[in-house]
Amino acid sequence: MAEQRFSTNGTTENEQSNLYINQEFFGTLGDLNRINPNAVSVMLSLISGVGGNGAVQTTHEAVAQQCSISLNQVAKAITDLEGAGLIGSVATSSEPGGVLACVVGVDLVRTEKPDETSLSPVVEGM
């Protein structure tokens, strides 16, 4: 199985964790890129902070700054990512730039190394 592992921001200073990405993730993200290129940068921003069970908690403002896009573009990207099935359980604050919490599909992106018997190929790298 081809694997690629990426380093992500850890929960404490100087801590990093590995991120395992299913190859299907790249295909879905590529398809979404044709519809909304901002969705790709927003998704990459989200997975850089993914925790156990795919949980992400950030703010719209932080994502907008990291991706160099507007808050409206972040909101549209979140809608498109949810529609594509890449994220779920989206909870947002009603205030502009407020809290954004979601779950990244654990079958696509995870912090734990997948089972070697997994049917889907996984890309792992640094």
Range(s) of the domain holding residue 118: 5-123
pTM to 2 decimal places:
0.77
Report d(CA 120, CA 107) in Å as an integer: 9
Report d(CA 99, CA 52) in Å as an integer: 19
Which H/E stretch holds residue 66? helix 60-67
Report d(CA 71, CA 92) in Å as an integer: 12
Domain count for the chain: 1
CATH of residue 28: 1.10.10.10
**Complete edge-to-edge strand list for the sheet that includes strand 87-92:** 55-59, 99-104, 87-92
Q: Is the pLDDT of residue 38 over 60?
A: yes
Pairing between β-strand 99-104 and β-strand 55-59 as defined by DSSP bridges: antiparallel
| 68-84 pLDDT tens trace | 999 999 999 999 999 99
Q: What is the mean pLDDT of the chain?
A: 81
What pLDDT is recorded for position 116?
A: 58
Q: Is the pLDDT of residue 21 over 80?
A: yes
What pLDDT is recorded for position 16?
A: 58
What pLDDT is recorded for position 59?
A: 96
Name residue 116's beta-bridge partners.
Answer: none
- pLDDT band at residue 60 under the 50/70/90 scheme: very high
Q: Is the pLDDT of residue 97 over 50?
A: yes
**What is the identity of the amino acid at 37?**
P
